[in-house]
Amino acid sequence: MTKERKMNIREDASWKEMLQGGHIIDAGNAEDFKTGDWRSMRPVWLPDKCKQCLLCWPVCPDMAIPVENGKRKDFDFDHCKGCGICVEVCPFKAIDFVEEE
C-alpha cells in the first residue's frame, strides 16, 4: 500500500538522487516503513465486547488504531509494536493480549 512518492531513495541510491541538504519532500512517508515485525505480543480486538468508547485510539504511540466514521477498526498490524497500552486502557476488556507467533 505504498503511496505515490516524489522521492524514492533506496539503499543503493547514489548521492546524486538525494536532494540538497538531505531534504525529505514526502511529508509523512515514514508510513511506508513497517514496524509490525517488532511485536512480541499482539493485541486482539474483540468487536463483540467493544463499546466504541474510543479511549484506546489516542493512547497508541504508533497511530495503529484506525478510526473511520467515528468507529474504531481492527489494528493496523503493519505499524502496531505490541506495547499493550491500548489493552490496559480498555474499560470493557475488549482487547486481548496474546503472544505473537
Partner 1 sequence: MAYNLKTLTEKEERITGGHRMCAGCGAPIVVRTVLRALKPEDHAVIGVATGCLEVSTCLYPYTAWKDSFIHSAFENAAATVSGAEAAYRALAKVGKVKGTTKFIAFGGDGGTYDIGFQALSGAMERGHDMVYVCYDNEAYMNTGIQRSSSTPKYADTTTSPAGSEIPGKVQFKKDLTMIMAAHNIPYVAQTAPFRNLKDLYEKAEKALYTPGPAFLNVLAPCPRGWRYNTPQLMEIVRLAIETCVWPLYEVIEGKFILNYKPKNKLPVVEYLKPQGRFRHLFTKENEGLLDEIQKEVDRRWNRLLELCGEA
The footprint of ligand SF4 (CB under 6 A) covers 43, 45, 50-56, 60, 62, 64-65, 72, 75, 80-86, 90, 92, 94-95
Over the window 42 to 81, marking each residue x when it contacts partner 1 by CB under 8 A and - when it does not, the resulting string is -----------xxx-xxxxxxxx--x--x-----x-xx-x
Q: State the Cα–Cα distance between residues 45 and 79, nearest whole angstrom.
A: 15
How many Å is the Cα radius of gyration of the chain?
17
CA angle 48, 35, 69 (to 5 degrees): 40
Binding site for partner 1 (CB under 8 A): 7, 9, 18, 22, 24, 26-35, 38-39, 53-55, 57-64, 67, 70, 76, 78-79, 81-85, 87-89, 97
